[in-house]
């Protein structure tokens, strides 16, 4: 592969991997068929399990070391109490509520003034009638169907068979796999 094609492939696989993460299981299966990917279930080997365990154990110990002690809880509570009092002091008073309501009432009146009038509704009705006049009739549907059917037959005749698809895939495309562990598409050498 050329360097630019290799770089483009990496970018594409990264985008495909991100897209795949957002898809439902059914959509993922379809994407995998389109890409020609054979996704296999990855079972954790003993070696991988041992490696994961050896990495996780020290982290679990560190997490336990950061557990809140009674002294730390008491200190945090004493700092939080004055802040809660300050928050309560900013509660809306009746005076502030009345002031906000008096400012909002004229705006509500202006919004009501923009309501559709009978005149505006009458003006819109002929346009809706014109749209309805362009609806497909049974005769037009029948005519379109008779024209489309032979074309659909010709299109179906050009459909790739499984044998042709397999042959083309093995000759033209490198084998692409999806790695569920890293959640990325990769070229398999």
Beta bridge partners of residue 188, listed in sequence order: 175
**Count of CB atoms within 10 A of residue 39's CB?**
16
DSSP code at position 180: T
How is the chain split among helix, strand and coil, in percent rounded to 5? 75, 5, 20
- List the Cα angle 58/56/62 in 5-degree steps: 35
Q: How far apart are CA 187 and CA 189, in angstroms?
A: 6
Decide: pTM greater than 0.75: no
Cα 32 to Cα 38: distance, rounded to the nearest angstrom: 7
What is the C-alpha separation between 122 and 113, in angstroms, rounded?
18
Residue 122 to residue 158: CA distance in whole angstroms: 53
Q: Where exactly are the structural domains of the chain? A: 1-45+174-189, 116-172
Angle between helices 3-22 and 25-35 (to 10 degrees): 160
Q: 3-class DSSP state for residue 151?
A: helix
Please, which contacts does 59-66 make with residues 24 or more away whose CB atoms are closer than 8 Å?
Answer: none
Q: pLDDT tens per residue, the chain (189 residues)?
A: 567 888 888 888 888 889 888 999 999 888 888 877 554 544 567 777 778 777 777 777 777 777 778 888 888 788 777 877 777 777 778 887 788 778 777 877 777 777 777 777 777 777 777 777 777 788 877 887 887 777 777 777 777 777 777 766 665 556 788 888 888 888 776
């Amino acid at each position: 592969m050329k360097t630019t094609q290799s770089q483009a492939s990496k970018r594409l696989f990264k985008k495909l991997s991100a897209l795949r993460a957002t898809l439902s299981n059914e959509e993922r299966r379809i994407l995998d068929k389109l890409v020609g990917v054979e996704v296999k279930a990855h079972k954790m080997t003993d070696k991988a399990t041992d490696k994961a365990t050896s990495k996780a154990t020290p982290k679990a110990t560190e997490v336990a070391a950061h557990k809140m002690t009674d002294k730390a809880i008491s200190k945090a509570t004493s700092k939080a109490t004055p802040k809660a009092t300050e928050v309560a002091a900013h509660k809306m008073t009746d005076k502030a509520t009345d002031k906000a309501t008096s400012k909002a009432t004229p705006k509500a009146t202006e919004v009501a003034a923009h309501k559709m009038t009978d005149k505006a509704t009458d003006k819109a009705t002929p346009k809706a009638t014109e749209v309805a006049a362009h609806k497909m009739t049974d005769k037009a549907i029948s005519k379109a169907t008779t024209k489309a059917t032979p074309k659909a037959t010709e299109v179906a005749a050009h459909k790739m068979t499984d044998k042709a698809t397999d042959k083309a895939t093995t000759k033209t495309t490198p084998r692409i796999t999806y790695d569920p562990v890293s959640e990325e598409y990769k070229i398999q050498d």
